[in-house]
Amino acid sequence: MKRFLALVLALLCLALCFAGCTAAKDDKANDESTEATEAEGEGSKPKPVLKMATNAYFQPYEFYKDGKIVGIDAEIAAAIAEYLGYELVIEDMEFDTIITAVKAGSVDFGMAGMTITEDRLLEVDFSNSYATGVQSVIVKADSAITKVDDLFADGATYKAGVQQGTTGDIYATGDLGESRVTPYNNANNAVLALIGGDVDCVIIDNEPAKALVAANSGLKILDTSYADEDYAICIKKGNTELLGKINEAIVALTKDGTIDAIVAKYIPAN
C-alpha cells in the first residue's frame, strides 16, 4: 500500500512538474508574444528616412504616374529601403545636380539610370551594378542618318541633342565636338528639339529612347547602338557603411528574384 501511495505521489509530482513546465513554457510564449507586440509597437515608430535623388523624366527607370514617381529605380530603391528598414523619400532634380547633392550630403544616394564612369568615380562611390544600359540614337523616321557611323563620317555636320551631363552628352561632345551637341535639361526637351528640327538626332539610353519613340510619332531608333554601360547607385565618397548596406541589399534582392521581377514588370521580354 505504501509502495502504491509512493507511486501515486511520484506520478502526481511528475504531473505537477509537467503542468508547471508547460505553464512556464506558456509564460515564455506569452513573454515572446509581448516582445513581438512591443517590437511591432517599435515598428510603428517612424522609420529612419533614406533620401534618394533622381531625375524623374527617364521612363521606365523613373517617371511620374498619377503624380507619383514610379519606375524600375523607384521600385528597386523602395525594395532596398524596406530590406534595410528605412522609409524611402525621392527627390526629383536635374540629372546633372544629382552628384552635387550626393556629395553635399543633402541626399543619401543618387539613382537615375546612372552609368558608372571613370570621371564620376573620382567624385562619388558606386554600388554594385543592378542593370545594364545602351546608348542609342533617335532620329526622324525619314532621316538621312541610317547608322551611328553616319554621325562621325568625314564632313558630316549632323547635330545631336542630349540630356545635359549624361554619358550621351559626354560621349557625343567627345566624338562630335561641342559645336555639334546641344544639351537639354531633360529627355523630353531633347526630343522636342528633334521634332522641331533644331537637332538631327537625340543620343540617349535605349529604354527611355523606346518610351520616347512610342510617345511621339514619326521617330525611330537606329539599329546600331552607340555605347554599352552599367547602371549603379551613387553614394558619398567615404560613406562605406551605407555603401555596404546597399550592396548587401542588392545581393539579397538579386538572389531572391526581386530585382529581375521589377525590371521585367517595366521592360517585358520581347
Q: What are the residues binding ligand GLN (CB under 6 A)?
A: 55, 58, 95, 112-115, 133, 163, 166-167, 205, 229
CB atoms within 10 A of CB 37: 10
Measured CA to CA, the distance from residue 73 to residue 63 in angstroms comes to 10
Q: How far is the CB of 54 from ligand GLN (least distance, A)?
A: 8
Q: How far is the CB of 235 from ligand GLN (least distance, A)?
A: 15
Closest to ligand GLN by CB, 108 vs 229, is: 229
Q: How far is the CB of 118 from ligand GLN (least distance, A)?
A: 13
Q: How far is the CB of 93 from ligand GLN (least distance, A)?
A: 11
Q: How far is the CB of 156 from ligand GLN (least distance, A)?
A: 24
Closest to ligand GLN by CB, 186 vs 258, is: 186
What are the beta bridge partners of residue 89?
51
3-state SS, one letter per residue, for 169-237: HHHHHHHHCHHHEEEECCHHHHHHHHHCCCCCEEEEEHHHHHHHHHHCCCEEECCCCCEEEEECCEEEC
Closest to ligand GLN by CB, 92 vs 248, is: 92
Closest to ligand GLN by CB, 82 vs 94, is: 94
Place of cell 521634332: 195
Closest to ligand GLN by CB, 83 vs 97, is: 97
Pairing state between β 201-205 and 160-163 = parallel
